[in-house]
Structures are given as structure tokens and as C-alpha cells.
Amino acid sequence: MAKYTFSSQSGKAYYWNTIPGFIEDDSSSIIGQLVRKAFELGKAQSDAWDNQIKELQTRLRKCEMDGDIIFEYDIVRLGKRIDVVLLIRHMVFSLEFKNGENAFLAKDARQAEDYAIDIKNFHKESEDLYVCPILIATDAAKYPKYQSLGCYPDKQIYLQRENIDTFVPKVQVLSEKYGDDTSIDFNKWFNSPYHPTPTIIAAAVEAYTSHDISEIARSEAGQDNIDACEKEINTIIDYAKANNKKCVCFVTGVPGAGKTLVGLDVVAKNLDKDKNNLSVYLSGNGPLVKVLRAALKKSAKDMHIVGKDTDEAVNALIQGSYGFKRDNAPKSAPTAEHIMIFDEAQRVWNADMMKSKHEEEYMAMSEPSLLYRIMDRHKDWAVMICLVGLGQDIYDGEVGINEWFRCGIEEYTDWEMYYSKGIFSQSEDRGIDKSKIEGCPRCHEISALHLKTSIRSFRADKQCMFVDYLLDNKPEQARDVLSQISAKYPVYVTRDIKAAKDWAKKQVRGSQRCGVLACSSAQRLKPEGIYVPKEIDEKNWFLAPAEDLRSSNMMEVVASEFKIQGLELDWAVVCWDLDLRRKSNLEWDFYNFRGTKWVKRNDPSQQRYLLNSYRVLLTRARQGLVLFVPYGVDEEEDKTRKKEWYDKTFEYLLSCGVKELGHNQY
């Protein structure tokens, strides 16, 4: 391992060496390095690595092959790791191992080929190299069909299917056919920047411009409102380009107002207008990224735009923020993109949380500060567009929008900031002086950056207001607002979960979606048959056909606030547990369930996170919802589900004007 040391790029791979160095390295030492780098590891993975290493050492020793080997190489932005990469004779071999498998499965072949496509499309140092994907089913018989040794025009060699005995001879054959004696600069290749090729950019343009993005984002805002907002953003972008400026603008709006649609539109229109100035849409919300990607690919497929270039283009333009940060934080070079759209910008970590999540020194700052630093590397111009969900921070360690302003005012004094007055309407006070913002000559107030709903979306604005009053202990105001919208936006409460599900299902027409929601801390709904899993299959929950068992419409899988934030349903059942209960008619009481009992939340920030979790759940339905509050039981039967506690919540909801669901409604 002496040849390669990359302290700044240690996350790029778990192990790397020359092939001769790897052959002589102690296998248990290699396993130790792989295990230390892995985030989560089971015995099956450790055993697979052990077998893989020994088999590779044995077979590579026999052929006396020179070159380099890398285990678990990370295509950082795309969140993928390649099992093994061989750099031999100016070529790249991408190996996908299936240890113990005795057959070549189609899904494994797709996975192996996808990795090679990713290398060709996004790895700058491989753009002009021959890249060969090899699927290795270790225990399979020799592949019986003819395998072409040809390649595509971009120098990607056709997929090869080999077993543990045949793959090294195949590498030798291909390296003789396509390789040459020019050496690869390992440092340069290993640390290659993310670099979308012209082909992938063209595919992205086609994917975006051949369908209606609003079908994905499902905006509730008036189109005039969205058009005005996008016009202002594009004016800011044009200003930044023309004057070599750096700008950050904040787009706010009520839930369902179309913030995500604006972000996707900006990516699409700027990419189509000038293909040399890339945009990237980022979110720390994993479920949102998965669902948006899947929806966009489905839309492209429905328009008969198919192919791996299209799929990979979507992955390139819609990314998780974690990969973007990890890829760019240790670098000094600017990003490939001049425009960064950051969704759910209120869900950013403070410096303490960043330190606890990342060992690297260069990550020891707040998330907004890190993103400013990354985008500030552009010598000419850059634009960050922050899409802000007000009053929706739900994670411990989230620092909110005030940190974005603090960084722009105090740390990055060349940046200009654009916002609407609406950004202050629901933001919590985190210690920033608003007068600093209003008194800063680089801060510009633009009303169009707040998405207000038009007459066509009267319901969305008022529904959000109703939820705020309900959670802010203002039952009279909540009742008044609900009376204005109930004809078009029904809200019911019931003690019968079956009745709630039946009602929601009967409201669904055509391709509309319904689903069951509950807070992640709602742990005593299990006796009602309601389990809140940490993980769900988000793509199928939101997008699968209604008859698919994984679909939200089946109302079998419950989604928490972490899986639904930033996304919406048409009709929802929101389940209410004793984590948020009434202390009196004037106050909420806040609890966590630990072990066998409820424990009070005394930390004000934890109380706010819980309120915001319910705020997220209560604002996910576009057309109506029913609240389910269990009956509970006598204290002698179960102290954690006392009837009187549930009754207080039920009575409070009634006082807010919510009507009880009657048999005539379902």
C-alpha cells in the first residue's frame, strides 16, 4: 500500500494498490482495511470479500499482469460503489462479483453494465479510455452463448459474463485487443472529477423537454405565480452571468405551492438554453430524490424516450446532497455546474451535527457554509437557488434558513442574496438579527420569490393556515378557516382506522393517490395494526399502480414524516398517537416512547421538531384527509394507551371544527 496515499480522497475507495503489491499483500490485512471503511457490515459481506481477495490473488499471480487494482471504488455523486476496478494497459475493467452464484442473472448483468456506463458518462479521466464491464458469477459454468468482444462507439466494450476461472483469461484477451503500453496516471484517474459528457447532457435535455414536468411536481400554485417566480430567478442568473457575480436566492411558499416544480424547471430551461452551463438539483431528502428520479424516468419512458443515457442523465441532474458534498468538499477546483438548486434548504445541518457525521476536517462547518465554499470556487459566476419549506425542520441538528443568511452576510461577502418578505413569516428565531438582513446592501427583497397561491389554488393556502392554527393552540381561528374550505377540502376525524381507510379509498378517482401517514415517534399504534417502519420502498409507494401491494393506495405500508416530506398525496389518513397530546385546552404535551413507557420531551428544540413533524403530515394531502385517533384502553390494561389521553386529543380536534366521520360518508 506504500505507493498510494490520498488522505484527501480516502472516501473514494476502500483499498487500492498495484496488482503486484496486492498479490503480495496479506489477505487478512486487506479485509481489515475493507471492514474499517465499510459503514455497515455483516458476516456475509466479510466472507464474500475474503473469498474474492484470495481468488483474485491466486489467479492474478499466475498471469503476471501489471497494473492497478481498486476495491469498492466510489462514483461519489451517484452513490454507487464498484466491487473491483482493474487499470490494465491503458484500459478500465469494471468487475461486478456475485460470490457463490451459479447463474448469470439479467438484473446482475444490468448492474454490471450500468457501472461501466457511469464511468464513461461521468468520470472525466475515463472518457477516452476503453471501459469493459465484467459480471463474475463465481460458481457458474462457462457462459454457453457467444460473447462479442466488440465495443460501442464511445469505447465501452460489450458486457462479458465470466466465472471465477474464465474472467482473468478474458481480461488478458481484451487487454491485448484494445490496450496499449501507455500508462494511466493513477493519481489523476483515482481523483478524477465528476464530468458529465456531451452525450449525457443531450439525453438530459431530451428527457426534460419532451414531457410536462408539472405532471411530476403536481404544483398546487397558480401558473402565473410560478411563471413570475421563474422569471425573477432567470433574471438573477442572467445578471450573474453577464456581470461575473455570485448570487443566492430563496424561494418560499406554502406546502404544495410548487417550489420543487420551480427547481426542476430552472434546471431544464437553463440546460436547454446553454448546454455549457450545467445545473444540478440537490436535496438532502433521500425519498424525494428517489421519487423524482423515478417519476422523470417513467415520464420519459411514457414518451418513448428510452435508453441508459436518459436514465443516467436523470441521475446526473437530480442528486442527493450527501454525494455532492463528499465529492466536492476536499477539492479546490470548481464544480461542473454553475447553478445549484437545493431543495428542502431548511433541512441543513449545523456545525456540530456535521462534525458528528463526518470525520474529515474539511467537513467541520455548517452545511450552508460548506455549500457556499464549494460554489464560491467559481472564478466567474455562480448561482445557488434555495427552495425553503417554512416551519418544516424535523431533524435534530437542523439549523434552518438563518444560517444561510449568516454565512452570506458574515463569511461570503461577495455574494448577493435575494428573498421575499415571506421568508420570515414562519421561520423560528435562531439568534439572527433580521435588521442585519434588511440593512445589508447585498440583500434584495423580491416579492415574486414567495409562491402565493392564486384563486385556482385557494384551498392550499387556507389548508396550510388551518394546520398552523391547529398546532399553534388556536382552535377558534382553526375552526373559522376550516369552515371556509371544508366544502372543497374535507377534514374528518374518526376512532375507527378501517373507516378512515375506507373513506380515503372511496375518494380516489383515476390516477389519484391515497395513503396512511403517522409520525416516526408514534410507537403505540401497533395494537391498532399500524406499524411505522424506518424504511419503505418510496418509489413504489408513490408511483406503483394502485393494485400493487407496495403502492400507497393499498394502505398497508405506513409512511412517516421523513418519507413524505417534500412529496404529496391526494387523500391521506393521518394517525395521531400519544407522542403529541393535550396537556390542557391551551397547550401541547410532548413525548418519546422509550422501552416500555412514554418519556417527556423537555428540550424546546425537540418539541419544535415534533410539532413540525405533525405539520408535515397534516399538509401532505392535496384534496382532503381524515384523522385517526385511537380509543385507547383502561389504565389497568395498558398504561401506555390510556383512553383519557386519546380522548383529549379527539376533543381538541373537534373544537378546531373537525367533524367526526359518520357512516354516511363512507
pLDDT at residue 75, rounded to an integer: 77
Taking the C-alpha atoms of residue 82 and residue 120, their distance in angstroms, rounded to an integer, is: 13
Amino acid at 595: G
17 sits in which H/E element: strand 15-18
For residue 202, give the C-alpha cell: 443531450
Q: Does a structural domain hold residue 304?
A: no
Same domain? For 271 and 373 the reply is: yes
In the chain, % of residues over pLDDT 90 = 47
* Torsion angles phi and psi, residue 96, rounded to 5: -110, 110
Q: Does a structural domain hold residue 89?
A: yes
pLDDT higher than threshold 50 for residue 234? yes
Average pLDDT over residues 31-60: 79
* β-pair partners for 398: 349
pLDDT higher than threshold 60 for residue 401? yes
Taking the C-alpha atoms of residue 502 and residue 573, their distance in angstroms, rounded to an integer, is: 10
Q: Does a structural domain hold residue 633?
A: yes
Taking the C-alpha atoms of residue 291 and residue 320, their distance in angstroms, rounded to an integer, is: 12
Last residue of a domain, which of 171, 190, 209? Answer: 190
Same domain? For 415 and 487 the reply is: no
The CATH number assigned to the domain holding 364 equals 3.40.50
Same domain? For 507 and 599 the reply is: yes
Taking the C-alpha atoms of residue 390 and residue 400, their distance in angstroms, rounded to an integer, is: 9
pLDDT at residue 118, rounded to an integer: 84
Distances (CA, A) of 40 to 44, 46, 71, 192, 469: 12, 11, 16, 26, 43
Average pLDDT over residues 400-419: 91
Q: Does a structural domain hold residue 204?
A: no
Residue 309 binned pLDDT confidence (cut-offs 50, 70, 90): low
| 159 secondary structure, DSSP code | P
Question: When comparing pLDDT for 231 and 665, which is higher?
Answer: 231
Cell 462479458 belongs to which residue? 160
Taking the C-alpha atoms of residue 33 and residue 12, their distance in angstroms, rounded to an integer, is: 13
For residue 362, give the C-alpha cell: 474539511
Q: Does a structural domain hold residue 162?
A: yes
pLDDT at residue 106, rounded to an integer: 87
Pick from 84-93, 192-201, 256-265: least confident: 192-201
Same domain? For 557 and 511 the reply is: yes
Show the domain range for 443.
226-286+317-451
pLDDT at residue 307, rounded to an integer: 61
Same domain? For 428 and 470 the reply is: no
Q: Dump pLDDT digits (tens) for 598-651.
A: 999 999 888 988 998 999 999 888 889 999 999 999 999 999 999 999 999 999
pLDDT higher than threshold 80 for residue 378? yes
Average pLDDT score, the chain? 84
Same domain? For 165 and 232 the reply is: no
Burial call 352-369: b when 16+ CB within 10 Å, e when fewer: ebbeeebeeeebebbbbb
Residue 6 binned pLDDT confidence (cut-offs 50, 70, 90): very low
Beta strands in 404-551 (DSSP E): 415-419, 443-445, 450-451, 491-494, 514-518
Residue 400 binned pLDDT confidence (cut-offs 50, 70, 90): confident
pLDDT at residue 183, rounded to an integer: 85
Same domain? For 646 and 615 the reply is: yes
Taking the C-alpha atoms of residue 342 and residue 340, their distance in angstroms, rounded to an integer, is: 6
Q: Does a structural domain hold residue 507?
A: yes
Q: Does a structural domain hold residue 292?
A: no
- Which candidate, 342, 345, 333, 358, places its Cα nearest to that of 400? 345
pLDDT higher than threshold 80 for residue 79? no
Q: Dump pLDDT digits (tens) for 138-195.
A: 999 999 999 999 998 889 999 999 999 999 999 999 999 999 988 899 989 998 877 7
For residue 501, give the C-alpha cell: 381507510
pLDDT at residue 117, rounded to an integer: 83
Q: How many domains does the chain have?
A: 3
Distances (CA, A) of 412 to 114, 229, 247, 407, 409: 39, 25, 11, 6, 6
Same domain? For 66 and 167 the reply is: yes
Last residue of a domain, which of 451, 478, 513? Answer: 451
For residue 179, give the C-alpha cell: 490496450
Same domain? For 121 and 66 the reply is: yes
Last residue of a domain, which of 421, 451, 481? Answer: 451
* Total count of residues recorded for the chain: 666
Same domain? For 479 and 423 the reply is: no
pLDDT higher than threshold 90 for residue 510? no
CA dihedral (518, 565, 310, 145) positive or negative: negative
Angle 643-655/475-485 helices, nearest 10 degrees? 60
Same domain? For 438 and 422 the reply is: yes
Could you report how far apart the first and last alpha carbons of the chain are, in Å? 68
Taking the C-alpha atoms of residue 339 and residue 266, their distance in angstroms, rounded to an integer, is: 9
3-state secondary structure (DSSP) of residue 322: helix
Same domain? For 18 and 86 the reply is: yes
Query: Taking the CA of residue 67 as centre, how many other CA atoms within 13 Å lie in the half-sphere pointing to its CB?
Result: 24
Question: When comparing pLDDT for 350 and 571, which is higher?
Answer: 571
pLDDT higher than threshold 50 for residue 293? yes
* Torsion angles phi and psi, residue 225, rounded to 5: -65, -45
For residue 188, give the C-alpha cell: 489523476
Amino acid at 633: V
pLDDT higher than threshold 50 for residue 8? no
pLDDT at residue 275, rounded to an integer: 56
Q: Does a structural domain hold residue 369?
A: yes
Q: Dump pLDDT digits (tens) for 580-598.
A: 999 876 799 999 999 999 9
Taking the C-alpha atoms of residue 653 and residue 574, their distance in angstroms, rounded to an integer, is: 13
